[in-house]
Structure 1
Amino acid sequence: MAPNGYKAKVPWPAYAALVISLIAVSVAIGSWVRPPSATSTASTSTAPAYTDRQITDAKAKVCAAFANVHQAVRSNFARDHGDDPNQQLLVAVTGQQALLAGSVHLQTTLSEQPAAPAELATAVRKLVDVFQSLTVDYLNGHGSPEVDPSLRAGDEATLTIQSICK
Structure 2
Amino acid sequence: MIAVVSVAVAVGAWFRPVADPKVDLADSAPTYTDRQISDAKSALCDAHQLANRATHTVAARKSDDAVVTYIVATNVRLSATASAEYMLQKLSDHPASPVELSGAIRALAVAYQRITLLHLADAADAELDVAYNELDTTDARVVRACE
Q: TM-score under structure 1 normalisation? A: 0.75
Inter-partner Cα distance in structure 2 for 1:90 and 1:140:
17
Taking only aligned residues, the RMSD between alpha carbons, in angstroms, comes to 2.2
- Give the structure 1 partner of residue 98 of structure 2: 117
Structure 1 residues 27 and 89 mapped into 2: Cα distance closer, same or farther (>3 Å)?
farther
- Give the structure 2 partner of residue 16 of structure 1: none
How many residues in Structure 1 have an aligned counterpart in Structure 2? 138
- Give the structure 2 partner of residue 29 of structure 1: 9
Inter-partner Cα distance in structure 2 for 1:45 and 1:56:
25
Q: How far is 1:83 from its partner?
A: 2.7
Structure 1 residues 77 and 26 mapped into 2: Cα distance closer, same or farther (>3 Å)?
same
Inter-partner Cα distance in structure 1 for 2:133 and 2:115:
11
Structure 2: gaps spanning 5 or more residues: none
Matching residue within 52, 70, 73 for 2:34:
52
Query: By percentage of residues, which structure has more helix?
Result: 2
Q: Does 1:85 align with 2:38?
A: no
Q: How far is 1:41 from its partner?
A: 3.6
Structure 1 residues 114 and 85 mapped into 2: Cα distance closer, same or farther (>3 Å)?
same
- Paired residue type of 2:146: C
Q: Which has the larger radius of gyration?
A: 1
Inter-partner Cα distance in structure 2 for 1:77 and 1:27:
70
Structure 1: 4+ residue segments shifted above 6 A: none
- Paired residue type of 1:26: S
Structure 1: gaps spanning 5 or more residues: 1-21
Q: TM-score under structure 2 normalisation? A: 0.83
